[in-house]
């Protein structure tokens, strides 16, 4: 059975990881389903619990930017180190050549690894107590909406994982931005919680847009973040009975969830709103997107995938 652990029980969570078990934990983006990134058998448990196809690489979470060099190839591009120092801890995943410390199953037998230091005090405590890298995709059933509370994780994975470490609701609410620096020019693989212009300002160059590149990041697959109900994007929702509405303004309909008009607040609450309405068994969810703000690209990307 899955145990729900409080912040006071972080040592027990680290112990479960050390024994090769699975622990979901809160980060600033979404909840991750963690296991020892150096252990093939631990990594396998993540794929089994999620029902995720093998070969989809997992992000490896580290306790600090200082651990970067423990995982990357010795000839790693200096621009990756610069980004790590500028934005970690934070919602940026760097895909870089690895040095073989990561289990091949975690990286889908690729030569690159996705690395990130989450900006969440309890996650950092867990990572420091464990000491190694923690492979962690979002802690939901494959293809479902990402979880932003411990309860969301239990709703999807109760009985399929060893523990959930309750870090409270996620402050960002959308997945990390993924940038690949592995031989070619720095490339954006997925828009996310760190705005792309912030990254380009530090690099002093534009990122190549590779967000449509095959399914290199699982998050690129259409319908990856989908609820069960049909999702329709529209600036002016005109619901009929049996529909639900999500909008950044008041709507005269039931059920409706009004999200904050600022895009950061919208992003923080979006997945929770989708889950709340989905369990009501509505046939359609009409969603009015936000219109401006730094996280707009990430939110529009997730909305497009939820409606695919
Ligand atoms: P998830 O945690 O399910 O949102 O997925 C995280 C994303 O990071 C996955 O979709 C991965 O494809 C991507 N990622 C992690 N490691 C790599 C890698 N070595 N190469 C390319 N993408 C990666
Ligand atoms: Mg996911």
What is the pLDDT confidence band of residue 155, given thresholds at 50, 70 and 90? Answer: very high
Average pLDDT over residues 159-188: 97
Model confidence at 12: pLDDT above 80:
yes
Phi and psi (nearest 5°) for 24?
-80, 145
| Residue 225 placed within a domain | no
Are 55 and 137 part of one and the same domain? yes
Write down the mean pLDDT value for the chain: 95
Per-residue model confidence (pLDDT) at position 215: 47
Among 50, 99, 114, residue to substitute to test ligand 1 (most atoms within 8 Å of Cβ):
114
Structure confidence at residue 275 (pLDDT): 95
What are the structure tokens assigned to 243, written together?
């529909």
- 188 assigned to some structural domain: yes
Pocket test for ligand 1, best of 219, 221, 222, 271 (most atoms within 8 A of CB): 219
183/49 same-domain check: yes
Do 130 and 270 fall into the same domain? no
Q: What are the pLDDT digits (tens) for 206-228?
A: 999 999 875 455 455 555 667 88
Q: Is the dihedral of CA 123, 134, 19, 32 positive or negative?
A: positive
Q: Which ligand neighbours the alpha carbon of 113 most closely?
A: 1
Ligand 1 residue neighbourhood (C-beta within 6 Å): 56-57, 59, 93, 95, 107, 110, 112-114, 137-138, 175, 178, 189, 216-219
Three-state secondary structure call for residue 99: coil
Q: For residue 138, how far is its CA from the centre of ligand 2 (angstroms)?
A: 4
Nearest ligand to the C-alpha atom of residue 33:
1
Q: Are residues 195 and 242 in the same domain?
A: no
Ligand 2 mean position, distance from CA 267 (Å): 15
240 CB contacts (<8 Å, ≥6 apart)? none
The three-class DSSP label of residue 280 is coil
C-alpha 71 – ligand 2 centre gap (Å)? 23
Residue nearest to atom 13 of ligand 1 (CA): 217
Segment 74-117, tens digit of pLDDT: 999 999 999 999 999 999 999 999 999 999 999 999 999 999 99
Place of tokens 């709340």: 276
Q: Give the Cα separation of 210 and 198 in Å (integer).
A: 17
Nearest CA to ligand 1 atom 5: 137
In a domain, 282, yes or no: yes
129 has pLDDT over 80 = yes
Q: Domain check: are 199 and 260 in the same one? A: no
For residue 216, the model assigns a pLDDT of 55
Q: How far is the CA of 46 from the centre of ligand 1 (A)?
A: 14
Which residue has the CA at smallest separation from atom 16 of ligand 1?
114
Gap between the terminal Cα atoms of the chain: 34
223 in a structural domain: no
Pocket test of ligand 1: the residue of 47, 95, 104 to mutate, having most ligand atoms within 8 Å of its CB, is 95
Q: Helix, strand or coil for residue 114?
A: strand
In a shared domain, residues 265 and 185:
no
**Cα separation, 259 vs 261, whole angstroms:** 6
Q: Which domain holds residue 246?
A: 230-306
> Does residue 218 lie in a domain region?
no
Ligand 2 centre from 220 Cα, in Å? 10
Task: From 24, 31, 58, 302, give the residue whose CB has the most ligand 1 atoms within 8 Å, as the site to mutate.
Answer: 58
Q: Atom 19, ligand 1: which residue's CA is nearest?
A: 113
Q: Find the CATH number of the domain harbouring 190.
A: 3.90.870.10
Domain end marker among 158, 180, 209 = 209
What is the spatial distance between Cα 187 and Cα 80, in angstroms, rounded to a whole number? 11
Residue 70 near residue 101 (C-beta atoms within 8 A): yes
From residue 238, alpha-carbon distances to 194, 226, 290 in Å are: 33, 21, 17
292 Cα–ligand 1 center, Å:
27
Look at 167-171, 241-245, 277-281 and tell me which has the smallest mean pLDDT.
277-281
Q: Say if CB 161 and CB 33 are below 8 A apart.
A: yes
Res. 186: pLDDT tops 70: yes
* % pLDDT > 70, the chain: 96
pTM assigned to the model: 0.95
Number of domains present in the structure of the chain = 2
């Amino acid at each position: 059975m899955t145990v729900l652990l409080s912040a006071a029980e972080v040592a027990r969570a680290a112990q479960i990881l050390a024994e090769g078990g699975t622990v979901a934990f809160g980060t600033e983006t979404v909840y991750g389903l963690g296991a020892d990134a150096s252990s093939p058998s631990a990594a396998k448990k993540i794929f089994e619990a999620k029902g995720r196809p093998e070969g989809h690489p997992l992000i490896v979470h580290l306790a600090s930017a200082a651990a970067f060099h423990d995982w990357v190839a010795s000839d790693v591009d200096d621009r990756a180190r610069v980004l790590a120092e500028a934005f970690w801890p934070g919602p940026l995943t760097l895909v870089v050549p690895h040095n073989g410390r990561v289990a091949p199953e975690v990286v889908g037998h690729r030569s690159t690894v996705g690395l990130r230091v989450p900006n969440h005090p309890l996650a950092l405590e867990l990572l420091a107590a464990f000491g190694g890298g923690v492979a962690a995709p979002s802690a939901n059933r494959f293809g479902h909406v990402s979880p932003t509370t411990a309860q969301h994780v239990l709703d999807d994975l109760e009985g399929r994982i060893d523990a959930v470490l309750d870090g409270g609701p996620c402050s960002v609410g959308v997945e990390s931005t993924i940038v690949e620096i592995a031989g070619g020019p720095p490339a954006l693989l997925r828009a996310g919680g760190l705005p792309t212009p912030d990254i380009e300002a530090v690099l002093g160059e534009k990122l190549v847009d590779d967000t449509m590149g095959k399914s290199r990041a699982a998050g690129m697959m259409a319908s990856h973040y989908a609820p069960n109900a049909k999702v329709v994007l529209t600036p002016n929702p005109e619901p009929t009975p049996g529909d639900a509405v999500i909008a950044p303004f008041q709507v005269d309909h039931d059920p409706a969830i009004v999200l904050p008009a600022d895009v950061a607040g919208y992003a923080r609450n979006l997945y929770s709103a989708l889950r709340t309405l989905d369990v009501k068994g509505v046939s359609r969810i009409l969603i009015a997107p936000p219109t401006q703000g730094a996280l707009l690209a990430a939110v529009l990307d997730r909305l497009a995938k939820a409606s695919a």
